[in-house]
Amino acid sequence: TFMVEMVETAAILNQAGERSLVILDEIGRGTATFDGLSIAWATVEHLHEVNRCRSLFATHFHELTALSEKLDRLSNVTMMVKEWQGDVIFLHEVGPGAADRSYGIQVARLAGLPALVVDRARNVLSQLEETDRKNPASQLIDDLPLFQATVRREQAVAPKASVVEDALRKLDLDELTPRQALDALYDLKKQLGKS
């Protein structure tokens, strides 16, 4: 499934133009966290800098919201929620900004996961968040330079001419008899066989 997602994303990135509308949902979810985050990050930058199209990009990677500081046409929006008596209520409204936190555990509880699983997930989340506070990844946005596809163009290196190409350039086709042309063709074919 991840390969299918990548093939579809590749088609979008290779074909979308400035008048396209691209809608992507959770790019990078089917692989390791940092792989997925990296792919999603580069995809957002590519859509902004290369395709320059309108895009809706839904993601659970909170780190991507920091890109709005570096990409002038990117703005974050979030689905509005309200917390009430330990529950989360989805308001079905879009508002400006980024989500202040994830509601995955609340959604898991709403979906009917056993209470033991939900409680254990809360404990694991607390431990992970504590570890993250000790090693913040919030500086990630400053550590990664903006995608430079439009700035850094690979210099095309002309391939070295082959022996056959050199021999063809030396031929004066207007001065060759039909027999000389045929002989030259046979010589070129022999040279191709050697390389």
Task: Confirm or reject CATH 3.20.20.190 for domain 2-143, answering yes or no.
Answer: no
Closest residue by Cα to residue 108 from 126, 127, 87, 128: 87
- Rounded CA gap, 66 and 112, in Å? 33
**Strand 54-58 to 77-84 pairing:** unpaired
Q: What is the pTM of this model?
A: 0.65
Closest residue by Cα to residue 108 from 96, 100, 120: 120
The answer to whether 43 touches 74, Cβ cutoff 8 Å, is: no
**Dihedral sign, CA of 140, 100, 59, 54?**
negative
Domains in the chain: boundaries:
2-143, 163-194
pLDDT in tens, 56-109: 999 999 999 999 999 999 999 999 999 888 788 999 999 999 998 888 999 999
